[in-house]
Chain A
Amino acid sequence: MAVLTPEQTMALHDEVLAALKGKFGEGILSSSCEYDFPVFVVDKDIMHDVLVFVKETPSLNYHFLTTMCAMNYPEKTGNEFAMMYQLHNMPENKRIRFKTFIPEQKLEIATITDIWPAANWMERQEYDFFGVNFIGHPNLIRILNMEDITFFPMRKDFALEDPTRDDKNDSMFGR
């Protein structure tokens, strides 16, 4: 895929931002250009509507969900979790990214499986690893980990090393 120049990226950013601002106004919290990606930070309550808008509006036509994932920022009080959606307009080969922050206290966001059925397993994965609750998901159960675990292993406060392992003390390594 051709990498956009900074000027091209900024032009794409301005074009999409104008359309978003016209429709959602203050719901678009901030925007920036990361490498050749315009990134828009959106209020989580309108995230679903924004994705429908950029998909269904013919002049934008971001019809393809490339990927999505959750993120954890423990230091951002009130915005501990984030969801990222990466979209692609294939006929014109344009890509944009959306980001929305979610507080840990109320870790839920509307599902986008009604827009893209492909989001089904990806949302299950984010539920599995981060515990994000997708409202309206048809089958929100763990997808990769053991069904009976009670933790969410990709959260930053989850210990990296297995706490049940007892052979990694200093006496084993002569320290």
Chain B
Amino acid sequence: MAKSPEGLEGPGFFLTSMEKAVGLARKNSIWPLPFATSCCGIEFMATMASHYDLGRFGSERLSFSPRQADLLMVMGTIAKKMGPVLKQVYEQMAEPRWVLSMGACASSGGIFDTYSVLQGIDRIIPVDVYIPGCPPRPEQVIEGLMKIQDLVGNESLRRRNSPEYKSLMNKYGIE
């Protein structure tokens, strides 16, 4: 059971801020969209399966439609030809949305330092958490997801309307 946030507690009632209540609900029911293109995707499958069980973190419900997803998990080499596809998937996600970049290839191009591979997905979409490794072990994926949970749980409800956030989106050419 999730720990209750800071608040005022008494017999029969509990008071806390809206932000904390929403954050608590969001962080424990993240719906990830797995965008798996190579071996990191196989590690993610292990992470999803019963031994490591991403369901313990409220993320057992994968969303294969970007419109219902909260978290875009990019796992594997992204070829330059795949770049526009990835960006379109990101644009189709509803706010608030987070991005997790798993493995060396998604984060930096990895060993594929060549003309056909995108040298890190942060060249086309903003990334919240990077998981290093080639491929990362399931424990690292869980650690990354917990970092995302921290971000989700502590995010201000006004963040997505802030000028900083808008300028970040504009930097990537996303409305």
Contact = CB atoms under 8 A, between A and B. Distances in A.
Interface of A: 145-146, 149, 151, 153, 158, 160-162, 164-165, 167-168
B114 interface: yes
Contacts, number: 27
A145 B109 CA distance: 17
B111 to A, nearest CB: 11
A149 B115 CA distance: 10
Nearest to B80: A146
**Smallest CB-CB A-B distances: 6 pairs:** A153-B115, A165-B119, A161-B113, A162-B113, A146-B80, A162-B119
Given A151-B115, A153-B116, A162 B109 contact: yes
Interface of B: 80-81, 108-109, 113-117, 119
A145 B116 CA distance: 7
26 contacts: A145-B81, A145-B115, A145-B116, A146-B80, A146-B81, A149-B115, A151-B115, A153-B114, A153-B115, A153-B116, A158-B115, A160-B114, A161-B113, A161-B114, A162-B109, A162-B113, A162-B114, A162-B115, A162-B117, A162-B119, A164-B119, A165-B108, A165-B109, A165-B119, A167-B108, A168-B113
Contacts of A165: 108-109, 113, 119
A139 B19 CA distance: 58
Contacts of B119: 162, 164-165
Interface of A is mostly: loop
Given A153-B115, A158-B115, A167-B108, 19 more contacts: A145-B81, A146-B80, A146-B81, A149-B115, A151-B115, A153-B114, A153-B116, A160-B114, A161-B113, A161-B114, A162-B109, A162-B113, A162-B115, A162-B117, A162-B119, A164-B119, A165-B108, A165-B119, A168-B113
- Among A149, A162, A168, the most chain B Cβ lie within 10 Å of the Cβ of A162
A161 B108 CA distance: 13
Contacts of A167: 108
Contacts of B108: 165, 167
Nearest to A145: B116
